[in-house]
Amino acid sequence: MARGRAPEIRLEPGDRAELERVVAAHSSERRLVERARVILLSDDGWTVPQIVARVGLSQKGVSKWRGRFAELGMGGLRDAPRSGKPKVYDASARIAVTALACTKPDDGSNAWSTRKLAAKTGISKSHVQRLLAADLLKPHKAEQWCGKSPDPEFEAKKANIIGLYLDPPEGALVLSVDEKSQIQALDRTQPELPMRPGSPRRQTATYKRNGTTCLQAALAVHDGTIDARCVDSNNHETFLAFLKHLYRKYPHVELHVIVDNLAVHKHAEVKKWVASRKRLTLHFTPTYSSWLNQIEIWFNILTHDVVKGGIWQSKQQLIDQIMTYIHSYNSDRAKPFTWTYTGDKEPTSGTRH
């Protein structure tokens, strides 16, 4: 055999098919693909220098993997086990990590990181991660939940509102009303870089404020349409003006308006005006339970579609975009939310005036 020519390797059909599968698979590790190509080229009669030039491995590397394959077959292309035995931690180590992770750090931070836990316990970071995963602990994560309302009339108010959703009075219109305050017209200090293949749209971290607006909105619960206006501030005067607008917009219709317990909704001037309107009833959500008001669902949609990541050079530009979005939403997307409730329905009630 000529000097420099690789010793002949003859592959069984099954081995060649497996090596070709490794080379073709997108999920294969790069190093394993290189080793498989070395063996395939060797089977094709390529010399070691030719394989080195084609694959990019050193001559020593090519010879190593040829020898490993000749001795061990397909298994020889895998990395050999590393020397040394990993450190073993007993149950007391797991208890120590778990107990510490469930406390608040004494360095002023709110939660432990795996790095801090490793430094505190003397256990490797990777093993700390495994111990936390075994106990389903995620110190970095916090979830929110709705605490129990202290409202002594919680059940009655809840049933009243859900009754409006599921079984409204015949011919009545149910409106879910609230305000989204302090929507900021943020502009970036440099132009936004548009999205392109392989890169998301990019914005500078620095910004400037161009004012704020408050969105007053009413959701017609049973058809899903939105009536809204932007005002400079949210107070009892602007809220009362919005109520009057809704009252005029829907003449000769019994109106049931659901609101939360914000002070402006219970202002004396508001109460006085509502008391003089026989076809209008205000229904207040229980204390700390504004989540019962369906307009909050729509506000989340608005935040995702419009507010988050928006760029506006003026407050008016922000207002125009919000109103354009609402017009488009009403034309193309508006539909009732599917409201499910498995409890008992009680008769719709409220303070009728």
- pLDDT 10s digit of each residue in the chain, 353 long? 444 455 567 788 778 888 888 888 887 788 888 988 988 888 888 888 888 988 888 999 888 888 888 888 877 888 776 666 655 666 778 888 888 899 999 888 898 999 999 888 888 888 888 888 887 888 888 877 667 788 888 999 999 999 999 999 999 999 999 999 999 999 998 888 888 888 888 888 888 999 999 999 999 999 999 999 999 999 999 999 999 999 999 999 999 999 999 999 999 999 999 999 999 999 999 998 888 999 999 999 999 999 998 999 999 999 999 999 999 999 999 999 986 655 554 434 333 33
Q: Around 209, how many Cα atoms within 13 Å sit in the side-chain half-sphere?
A: 6
Token pair 């500078």: residue: 204
Q: Please enumerate in sequence order all residues whose Cβ is within 8 A of that of 49, keeping only pairs 6 or more positions apart, or say none.
A: 4, 59
Classify domain 154-191+203-352 at the CATH topology level: Nucleotidyltransferase; domain 5 (3.30.420)
Residue 38 contacts residue 66 (beta carbons within 8 Å): yes
* Distance of alpha carbon 124 from alpha carbon 94, whole angstroms: 12
Q: Where are the beta strands (DSSP E) in the chain?
A: 173-188, 207-220, 226-231, 255-259, 280-284, 351-352
* Distance of alpha carbon 189 from alpha carbon 204, whole angstroms: 7
Report the candidate in 179, 209, 180, 178 with the shortest Cα–Cα distance to residue 310.
209
Residue 214 contacts residue 180 (beta carbons within 8 Å): yes
Sheet with 207-220, edge to edge strand ranges:
226-231, 207-220, 173-188, 255-259, 280-284, 351-352
Question: In one letter, which amino acid is 297?
Answer: I
Q: Around 70, how many Cα atoms within 13 Å sit in the side-chain half-sphere?
A: 14
Residue 88 contacts residue 115 (beta carbons within 8 Å): no
Q: Token pair of 209, please?
A: 């404020």
Residue 115 contacts residue 101 (beta carbons within 8 Å): no
